[in-house]
Structure 1
Amino acid sequence: MNIDNRIKFRHLLCFLEIARQGSLARAAEALAISQPAVSKTLKELEEILATRLFERSKQGVTPTSAGLAFLRYAGPSVQALRAGVHSLRSGEHEAGVARLGVLSTVESSLLPDVVRRLHDQHAALVVSVVTGPSAYLLGQLRVGALDLVVGRMTDSPQIEGLTFEHLYSESMILVVRPGHALLQVDLRDRSRLGDYPVVLPLAGTTIRRYADSLFVQCGIALPQQRLETLSVALSRRYVQSSDAVWIAPQDAVRQDLARGELVELDIGLREPGGSVGICSNPTTPPSLATQWCCEALRTAAADYRAALYP
């Protein structure tokens, strides 16, 4: 079946920006055109495709099932065209670019090792890293704005239709500053954990469900004093300067524990956590730079597993 020649590049760009922004107004701002122009372009595309691509509400727009199906191909198609144009520009094809979405669980330990390996092996490689919640990053991957997403995301509904490659499993552990009062007590009485502020991932994220599960297993309610964040740097600084207890992914605090800057609380159990891995878009052929990243991630993950289970 031939592609309808009425579909223009501007239709795809507009469609992708609306999907990315979740709002016609924000899409118009990002595209530097008027909102009526965005509405008109979207209407043209929906008429050409003979289907509704977005549901409108007071909160914005969300893709319909048809919109999600079209998104699987529109994003990679636009990105492939951009990559083709980019590769033909004089000299620019020599420096590969890998665009990674990275969850906070791996940005402080695994990823620096991966980038170091890549730059040791490939002198002209640019590694562009975006951080954020899994839902946002997987959305960017789906529309072709990212090449890979790395982290723990198997429970995210946004992963449907994407490909996930397991690298290693990671536990959630409780950590505090050195000298914390809880290090001097018998933690078989886990109710003592409720006496201190707690640091948790944001509600609704994959790792928050594991953190909540740990408190359920302890048989206590979450303390009212909470810091909810995905920022590893903020969590680390706050815990080191307070009596807060941090429910942290093991990878995020591995180096802090090795240096003695944080101490694990041994409560007799660990939440097994989930699978850390690489998510990719099966509709997008991987670039050479993306393949290099996957190889470096696999090697670094193998070393990490060996360190955990020598």
Structure 2
Amino acid sequence: MAWARRLKVRHLEYFLILRNAGTLSEAARALHMTQSAMSHWLNELETLLGVRLVVRGRRIRFTSEGEVLLRLATRLIGDIARTQDELELLAQGAPASLHVGSVTAGLAHLIPNSICSFQMQVPQIAIHMTEGAFSLLLERLEGRELDIVVGSIDARAYAAGLAHEVLFEDRIVAIVGLQHPIRQKAKPLWSDLVPYPWIMPEKNTLMRNRLDTVLLENGGAGVRPRLETASIIIIETVLRQTDYVAVCSASLGAHLHRLGLVHALPLTAGFGPVGAVYREGDSHPVLGDFLAELRRQADRLRTDEAGPGVVL
């Protein structure tokens, strides 16, 4: 561990800048150094660790040892930045904070209800929400920018250093506007929706892949989206003005149906587990309490009566 005692935060900061820059010259420019000084610094770091960290070329390529150091740098610099933010907030008299990420399309009332109930119990905690794609949220979780990610989870939740917990199994449901002609059909089928214009999730998402499979199985192999979006606000607004068809998670569809914003059709298909992902061994003081609240709300979600035609 001799190298660890001699390692400085500056070494890790520069190494991350080198990763983002891609070349020694660009990294040197970002750090207001000469390229020779940047090269000397890198040699110093490699000598300190006793391993080769990059392969020099037109663009640098990180060795396996370099990738290991990058992961360490990401964790430590993220922790330091987060600690600095919290110290500044506390110095200003602001409350302690919990940073939560959720998938872009939202999770019906699971997250909002969890936040409301949790802050009634722990009013001194400020919660910061970030929405985005699952892969981007995981990157921010690993970089210490987020404390927990809640959403539809897949194999990426099993990555080293991460822990996860399944909260409930979700489905996808077809939704339309309140005046859509398909509502006149007593028992609509997925095949009945094929001729209508579609609002689809973005490509390469779990929900889009599942929808493509359902359409393929029901004669919709050639169906193309008229609109691609993950925004439930855009989906709900467009459905109210058109005869478009869309899908969302069954839990969200039931919630929107109850509010009278859309009509959830009695057409569902398996989707996958919704869960929480967090860093293994995270010592955040209230993370465990927030997880417990998520479990309670997920239990309520499973036992609540669904809207007409919706199966959770």
Cα deviation for residue 249 of structure 1 reads 0.9
Q: What is aligned with 1:185?
A: 185
Encode CA deviations 1:16-38: one digit per residue, 9 max, x unaligned. 5676xx6559xx89x97459789
Contact 1:232 1:252 in 2 (8 A): no
Q: Take 1:54 and 1:173, find their aligned partners in 2: how far apart are those partners? A: 50
Q: What is aligned with 2:134?
A: 134
From 268, 272, 275, give the equivalent of 2:273. Answer: 275
Where 2:271 maps in the other structure, the secondary structure is: strand
Q: Take 1:195 and 1:68, find their aligned partners in 2: how far apart are those partners? A: 49
From 286, 290, 294, give the equivalent of 1:297. Answer: 294
Encode CA deviations 1:195-219: one digit per residue, 9 max, x unaligned. 2121222111222222222212323
Contact 1:118 1:293 in 2 (8 A): yes
Alignment of 1:1-310 (within 5 A): 1-16=1-16, 24=22, 33=31, 45=45, 48-49=48-49, 50-52=51-53, 65-66=64-65, 68-82=67-81, 91=91, 95-155=95-155, 157=156, 159-161=158-160, 162-185=162-185, 190-267=190-267, 270-282=268-280, 285-307=282-304
Q: What is aligned with 2:309?
A: none
Contact 2:173 2:247 in 1 (8 A): yes
Where 2:99 maps in the other structure, the secondary structure is: strand
Contact 1:153 1:159 in 2 (8 A): no
Question: Number of paired residues?
Answer: 299
Encode CA deviations 1:226-284: one digit per residue, 9 max, x unaligned. 321221211121122211111111122222111332112234xx2211100000121x5
Cα deviation for residue 288 of structure 1 reads 1.0
Contact 1:152 1:207 in 2 (8 A): no
Cα deviation for residue 174 of structure 1 reads 0.3
Where 1:288 maps in the other structure, the secondary structure is: coil
Cα deviation for residue 296 of structure 1 reads 1.7
Shift in alpha-carbon separation, 1:107–1:173, aligned structure 2, 3 A:
closer
Q: Take 1:300 and 1:107, find their aligned partners in 2: how far apart are those partners? A: 12
* Backbone CA RMSD of aligned residues: 3.6
141-150 vs 209-218, which moves further: 209-218
Q: Take 1:56 and 1:308, find their aligned partners in 2: how far apart are those partners? A: 62
Q: Which amino acid aligns with 2:296?
A: T
The normalised TM-score by structure 1 is 0.79
Structure 2 spans left out of the alignment, 5+ residues: 307-311
Contact 1:169 1:276 in 2 (8 A): yes
Cα deviation for residue 107 of structure 1 reads 4.4
Q: Which amino acid aligns with 2:201?
A: P
Structure 1 spans left out of the alignment, 5+ residues: none
Where 1:207 maps in the other structure, the secondary structure is: helix
Cα deviation for residue 94 of structure 1 reads 7.6
Where 1:123 maps in the other structure, the secondary structure is: coil
Shift in alpha-carbon separation, 1:275–1:72, aligned structure 2, 3 A:
farther
Q: Take 2:269 and 2:240, find their aligned partners in 1: how far apart are those partners? A: 22
Q: Take 1:205 and 1:106, find their aligned partners in 2: how far apart are those partners? A: 14
75-84 vs 93-102, which moves further: 75-84
Q: Take 2:57 and 2:103, find their aligned partners in 1: how far apart are those partners? A: 30
